[in-house]
Structure 1
Amino acid sequence: MSKAKSLNKNNVIPNELYAEKDVKRGLRNANGTGVVVGLTKVGEVVGYELDEQGNKIAVDGKLYYRGYNIDDIFHDCVRCNRFGFEEVTYLLLFGELPTKQELKEFTEMLGSKRELPKGFARDMILTAPSKSIMNKLARSVLALYSYDDNPDDTSIENVLRQSISLIGYFPALIAYGYQAKRSSFDNESLHLHNPIPELSTAENILRMLRPTGEYTDIEAKLLDLSLILHAEHGGGNNSSFTTHLVSSSGTDTYSAIAAAVGSLKGPKHGGANIAVINMINDLKAHVSDITNEAEVEDYLVKLLRGEANDGSGLIYGLGHAIYTISDPRAVLLKEMAQKLAISKGLEDDYNLCRFIEKRGGMLYSELKGTDKPMPANVDLYSGFVYSALNIPIDIATPLFATARLSGWCAHRLEELTAGKKLMRPAYRGVQPYLDYVQICDR
């Protein structure tokens, strides 16, 4: 448009003004740490310590759900060979670990909410498909407001009811949104499977995504573990902060969660796992032998020079805003990814991820002169897992949303209980005052 250039010019703010006005751009302090804007009991992310001068000290990453180390939760599920996402959801919502009976009752309650309201799939999903499953997911969440007899009540009891319903519905929402997209835009056959209340969240997702509805136990268990690792990441990540922010206005649950979905849709947040998958696909298209480390390294060098993939100069799947030495989610998922690789004959693909993790950080230092640690983040191995499970790339971020919904709902309940104050940060006006010119004189 002819006005685009002037629009851009009129919105430019010189960088030096941010420093002059002491503005924390991106809500980040000068040392890269986040500006503290709230307190939470839901989750804690530990990626560094601060010395007396406020400098970061790199440490092994840790992640806590309601005070429990995710490492302990993860390994207990592996050791007992059981599904754990429902238990983690209970923990996040209620703040305590369930007894066997409490977990049984809660799982049955979620199961009773697997099937969407009558007519919803036809009227709200199949008749109005979207090329973006995340867009369809946000619209579906907002539409559920109309199917709720008491949508605007923000009492804890009512919001808890709405939260459990949404957590139960999400597998069907993403699966049907994907099937509608395939049918309407990709000219593929439409496969709709009803959810089964007795199955876990992970099992229902695989059953409803796949044309035959078939899956193996290791596939479902690994997806379950991935959901556990994505369920919560503190109150400061963009989508959870969005949940706090929007909830502080007193709006309804559907509006708050739809806003969080919109946040996660952004490529700088939830879309990062797709970026890893696209990067790996581009690597395979330009490297003749992925087991040849010299060839792979040449490609990684081109990535960092902006000569490959999307030209961003980034190796996706490395580095994190908080974690310094290690991302605990990547460490844990890497363990299970190896088992999946062996079961599916994908050892070469798995070893490719390991080489990117090992050599990529060194290349950042050598080529870009940065001393910032660049550990593998969860997206590197979740991208591998989703590919190995034959999960369509369209579903990668919606799966993230399905997992993180448990954390969002927990943060919404916390904001309504403990926050109780409209968030109202300040923006300083820097536009010079002008004399108004009448339209006849312009």
Structure 2
Amino acid sequence: MQPTDGMPFPDTNTRADWAQDPTDNVFGKKALYPGWDLDEFFQTAKSNAPATIKYCVAPDHLFECVRDEIVNAAATISMEMYSLNNAKLVDAITETLDAGVQFSVMLDGGALDAQGKWACQTIHAHGGQCWIFTGKPQSNVHKRYDNQHGKWIVIDGARVLIGSENLGDDAMPSDDPNNGTFGTRGGYLITDNPDIVNAAQTILDRDFDPTHHADVRRWGTNTDDFPPFGFVPDYENGGKGYAAQFPAPLTLHGAYPIELVQCPDNCLRTSDALLGLVAQAGAGDTLLVEQLYEYTYWGASGSNPSADPNLRLEAYLDAAKRGARVRILLDSFYDSFGDPRSNWATCAYVNRLAAQYDIQCRLGNPTGQGIHLKMVLLQRGATGFVHLGSINGSETSNKLNRELATQIESLDAYNYWADVFKSDWATTTFAPHRLWLPFLLRKGKP
């Protein structure tokens, strides 16, 4: 379908007409599974309605942001989350349940560990609902998405939280950050923009629909849903390894253009969404990327950037070739250096261009437990943009997962997150390069 209006491309009676075309890196090589709502969600949701936007940084103060939204809910809380295992946030949820607030959450069954099972059991005991997104192949039940990896919360139908972090201890430590903490770098947007709230709720309603989708079931309907007998939840988190740099959220009020981007439906659009945003970067502009990972290429592990390019990564490189200043910071904590598509390999691939263009790639771990952020910042002329959400740099994340992110135009928002980026960038000089050493022969032998 054409990005501008969703109408089909002209019919050529060839495989190029299909989204599965294996030769088209941009509009082809895509899947479509039963249960997807591609027609409804082909376009991204956009709004510039007057609203409050609030950005929170992990691990510095994200716990307080999320806890406060939960305990201040008046009527309803609806979540779609990959995992939920922060014991103190579970306590906040049960507090609101006991006060009469209705609560429901849908979690990915593949991420349901013992503490997550305890969380569901506790929520259920207090009158809340916990649902599991999972398949059952022996009954011919297959998941619509490879992973339900999105992370968003709708409060009272009036506010939405959308971010990069699961409701766990790593990103949301509850210790006092004033004397140091420890966790993952991440972030959330909180807004009361009515169009974005309604759009996020609509996605949740389509995903969280057990009447029409057999891959959603109530917690407790499977014997493996329960934690081990005698399980004791872990309340310990945080630490002293990271001196919190960002003590306060950023709160803005105004008519800021906001775009809601979701995978697999519309996150690879080239006219808007992330690729459309990055395509705006040119001479004199600045593009900052901070990600858990960006694969060097997509496709099979034995492929290469020419045959199966990572469209996101190539867009960053193209921005540098147009004259933009590009900086890419990827996680070193979780990286597998020996993988041909690792962050190490990606940085080496990027840094080969550093002599020709204003582009650099580094690996880092600024907050102790890795970079879990999924963020792209663009400063273009006198304005700035922030892309923030759950979308990673793999083909699975962009084409098979449920993911959610926001893009906001605001120079103040850009500057806030650019300060986070600059702080994290300054903690490392680890910039992998692929070295080609001379090969010496002596009498024809190596």
TM-score between the two structures when normalised by the length of structure 2: 0.26
> Greater relative contact order (Cα 8 A, min sep 6): structure 1 or 2?
1
Structure (1 or 2) with the greater strand fraction:
2
Structure (1 or 2) with the greater helix fraction:
1
TM-score between the two structures when normalised by the length of structure 1: 0.27
